[in-house]
Structure 1
Amino acid sequence: MRNRLAIFADPMIAVLLFATAMAFALPASGDGRESAQSVSNIAIFVLFLVNGMRIARGEIARGFTNWKFFVPLFAFVFVAMPLMGLGLSHLAIGALPPMVALGFLYLGTLPSTIQSATSYTSLAGGNVALSVVGAALINIAGVFITAPLFALLAGNEAADIGSETVIRIGVILILPFILGQMVQGWTIEWLRDRKAQVAWLDRVVIGIAVYVAFSGAVGQGLATLFGATGWAIMIALVIAYLIAASGGAWITGGLLGIERKDRIAFLFAGAQKSVAIGAPLAAILFPAEVAGFVIAPLLLYHLLQLMIAAPVASMLADD
C-alpha cells in the first residue's frame, strides 16, 4: 500500500535543507568562499561528465521521433513556464528583494528534473520510458537554452551573458557532457549498475552548489532582508506557480488528446523544475553574492514539488 503522506521520502529534501541551514549557520566567506566555489565548479564538472555518460545516445535519437509529445512538451517548458515566471517576477517586484523577484523568471526558464520526474511517473503508472527520454532531452536542451532565454527575458541589465560567462558554461557544463557522451560506450552499463551511488553524487553536488550560493547571499544580508511578510509572499507565489504549472501541464496533455500514461509523463516532465541544473548554472551566471537570492524561489519550488509529487502520483495510480 502506497503511503500518501510520505512527503519527506526523497533524500534530496534533507540535502537541500541541510545545505541551506549550513549556509545560514556557517557561511563560506573570504578565501573560504573562493575555495568553496572552486570545489563547487569541480563537482559540477564531474556531475555533467557523469550525466553525459549515463544518457544513452539511442534514447536521445528515439526521442526526436515522437514529435507529437516532445514539441508540446518543449513549448510548455521553454515558452509557457518562462512566461508564467516572468509574470510572477513582475508581480513580486516591490514586495520582495529585486534579485529574489527575478528568481521567479530564472525558475521558469529551467528544464525539468530527470530523476524525480521519472520516479513519480513510474509511481503514478505513467509511461516511464517516455518520461526518461523527455526529461533527458529537456535537460540537454536546458544547458543550451536556459541562459540565453533568461537573458532575453530579463534584459541585459539583469543577466549580462558575455564571452566569459559563455566560456564558463562551455567548460563546466557542455564540455564534460560531450566528453561523457564520447566515452559512454564503456561506462553506461557500469553506471546503470550503480544507480544509488550516482543519485547520491547528484545530491552532494547540488548540496555544495546550494551551500556556496546561499553563503554569498547570507553575506549580503539575506536573513535580514526577509521578514515574516516577505517569506509569506514568496511562499504564496511559489505555491501559485506550482499549482499553475502542474494544472497547466495536465490540462495541456488533455487538450492534445495524449493518452493517459503519456499524459502522466507530460505532467511530471513538464511541471517539475531541476535544481540539478538551476543551482550549478546560477553559480556560473551570477556572482556569489547574488546567486543565493536568485535561486531562493527555485529551492522552495523544488522542495514543494517533491513534497506533493508522491501523494499526487499515488492518487493518479489509484484512479
Structure 2
Amino acid sequence: MKLLQKLRIDPYLLILMATMALAAVLPVSGEGAKVFGVVVNLAIALLFFLYGAKLSPRVVWEGISHWRLQGLVFASTYLIFPLLGLGVAFAARNVLAPELVTGLVFLSVLPSTVQSSIAFTSIAKGNVAAALTSASLSNLSGVFITPVLVGLLISQGNVGIDTSSIVSIGLQILLPFILGQIARPFIGNWLATRKKLTSLVDRGTIILVVYGAFSEGTVEGIWSAVSLDELAWMLVFCAVLLALIMGITAALGRLLKFDRADRIAILFCGSKKSLATGIPMAGILFAGPTVALIVLPLMLFHQLQLFVCAILAQRFGNNAPAELVEPELKPAQ
C-alpha cells in the first residue's frame, strides 16, 4: 500500500482493472448472470436508499430548482454531445464499418448515467443533490428524446418509446430514494457518523457494474466481432469524444461561474452516457444482427468513462478543501 502511495497509484483503479480481467476470464453467464443482475439492482437500490436517508428535503429541492445547472447538463447531454458525435462519426466513416459509425452517433444521443454519475460526484465531494436530480431527469427525458434524435440523425430502424424504462427507473432509483427520505428521521443521524458506509457502497456498486458489463461483452462474443484495428480506432474516437465533452463541460462550468461542487456535478453528469439504458434502447430502435456492432462503441465508451471519471473523482476528493462540509451529511433535523 505504501508503494502504491509513493507511485501515486490509486488502489481502487487496480481493483477496477482486476475486475475487468476477471470478467474476461470468468464472466458471469446463464442463470448466474440473472442472479448477478439482481445483486446489482439491489446494490443500486441500496445506494439510492442511503442517498435518500442522507439528503435533507431542502437539499433535494435545491437540486431540482437549480435551473442553471440542470439546463447546462441537459444541453450538454442532448445538444453538445450529439453535435460532437456527428463530427467524430464523420471523421470515422473511412476507417470503421457503417454499423460502428452508427454506434458512435447512437451513444452520443443517449441519456447520462445515474448511479455512477452520482457515485463519482459523491466521491469527488461535489453537489450530490444536483447530480441525483439531473441524472434522473436525464434518464426520464431520454426515454422520449433519444428515439427522436435517433430518427433525426441516424434514420435507421423503427423509432419507438420504451415506456417500461420509466417504470424501471422509478422502481430502481426513485422508490428507494423516497424510502430513504421516509427513513431519514430515524437513521439520518446514524448515517452522518458513518461516512465510510456510503463510500463503500459507492465504489462497490461501480465495481459490480463494471464486472457485469464486461461479462456481458465476453459472453456475447462482441469483442471478437471486429478486428483489432477497428477496436483501436474505436478506442481513439471514444477517447476523443470523452476528452472533448469533459473539456467543454469543465470550461462552461467555469465560464458560467458555478462553484466547485456544481462544476463537479456538471462534469460527471454532462459527460456520461448510460450503458444500462443504451443497450435496451438499441434492441428496440435497431433490428437484426447489427445491434451487437452498434452498441460496441457504447460499451467501449462506458468502460473508458468509468476509468477516467474514477481517476478524476478520487483526485477531486483528495484535493477538496479541508473545511468542506457536504450538506447531505448534516444530521437529520
What interval of TM-score do these two structures reach, taking the shorter chain for normalisation?
A: 0.7 to 0.9
Query: Is the alpha carbon distance of 1:195 and 1:307 closer, same or farther for their aligned partners in structure 2, counting shifts above 3 Å?
Result: same
Q: CA RMSD in A?
A: 4.0
- Structure 2 Cα separation of the partners of residues 316 and 176 of structure 1: 29
Q: Partner of 1:307 in structure 2?
A: 311
- Structure 1 Cα separation of the partners of residues 7 and 311 of structure 2: 9
Query: Is the alpha carbon distance of 1:86 and 1:46 closer, same or farther for their aligned partners in structure 2, counting shifts above 3 Å?
Result: farther
Q: Partner of 2:130 in structure 1?
A: 134
Q: Which residue type is aligned with residue 241 of structure 2?
A: Y
Q: Partner of 1:9 in structure 2?
A: 10
Work out whether residues 245 and 271 of structure 2, in 8 Å CA contact, stay in contact via their aligned partners in 1. no
Corresponding residue SS for 1:27: coil
The aligned runs of 1:47-58 (5 Å cut-off) are: 47-58=47-58
Out of 266, 271, 277, the residue aligned to residue 270 of structure 1 is 266
Query: Is the alpha carbon distance of 1:176 and 1:143 closer, same or farther for their aligned partners in structure 2, counting shifts above 3 Å?
Result: farther
Q: Partner of 1:295 in structure 2?
A: 299
* Percent of aligned pairs sharing the same letter: 22
Work out whether residues 53 and 183 of structure 1, in 8 Å CA contact, stay in contact via their aligned partners in 2. yes
Q: Partner of 2:234 in structure 1?
A: 234
The aligned runs of 1:141-290 (5 Å cut-off) are: 141-155=137-151, 157=157, 160-256=160-256, 258=257, 262=258, 264-273=260-269, 278=274, 280-281=276-277
TM-superposed CA distance for 1:316, in Å, is 11
- Is 292-301 or 106-115 further displaced after alignment? 106-115
User: Residue 116 in 1 paired to residue 120 in 2?
Assistant: yes
TM-superposed CA distance for 1:59, in Å, is 0.8
Query: Is the alpha carbon distance of 1:312 and 1:43 closer, same or farther for their aligned partners in structure 2, counting shifts above 3 Å?
Result: closer
Question: Residues 163-215 of structure 1: CA distance to partner in whole angstroms, max 9, x if unpaired?
Answer: 44443333223322222223223233322322222222122233223323322
Corresponding residue SS for 2:274: helix
Aligned residues: 300
Q: Partner of 1:95 in structure 2?
A: 96
- Structure 2 Cα separation of the partners of residues 15 and 275 of structure 1: 23
Q: Partner of 2:39 in structure 1?
A: 39
- Structure 2 Cα separation of the partners of residues 28 and 9 of structure 1: 26
The aligned runs of 1:51-70 (5 Å cut-off) are: 51-64=51-64, 66-70=66-70
Q: Which residue type is aligned with residue 311 of structure 2?
A: M
- Is 274-283 or 263-272 further displaced after alignment? 274-283
Query: Is the alpha carbon distance of 1:153 and 1:184 closer, same or farther for their aligned partners in structure 2, counting shifts above 3 Å?
Result: farther
Give unpaired runs (5+ residues) of structure 1: 123-127
- Is 131-140 or 54-63 further displaced after alignment? 131-140
- Structure 2 Cα separation of the partners of residues 169 and 66 of structure 1: 22
Q: Partner of 2:326 in structure 1?
A: none
Q: Partner of 1:75 in structure 2?
A: 75
TM-superposed CA distance for 1:26, in Å, is 1.0
Question: Residues 15-70 of structure 1: CA distance to partner in whole angstroms, max 9, x if unpaired?
Answer: 43233222211122222222222333333333332232233221122345554455
Work out whether residues 74 and 138 of structure 2, in 8 Å CA contact, stay in contact via their aligned partners in 1. no
TM-superposed CA distance for 1:297, in Å, is 0.7
Query: Is the alpha carbon distance of 1:159 and 1:18 closer, same or farther for their aligned partners in structure 2, counting shifts above 3 Å?
Result: farther
Work out whether residues 113 and 139 of structure 1, in 8 Å CA contact, stay in contact via their aligned partners in 2. yes
- Structure 2 Cα separation of the partners of residues 314 and 46 of structure 1: 25
Give unpaired runs (5+ residues) of structure 2: 284-290, 322-333
Query: Is the alpha carbon distance of 1:158 and 1:86 closer, same or farther for their aligned partners in structure 2, counting shifts above 3 Å?
Result: farther
Q: Partner of 2:287 in structure 1?
A: none
- Is 41-50 or 101-110 further displaced after alignment? 101-110
Question: Residues 107-154 of structure 1: CA distance to partner in whole angstroms, max 9, x if unpaired?
Answer: 66446823434554x6xxxxx5xx344323323323423443333323
Q: Partner of 2:22 in structure 1?
A: 22
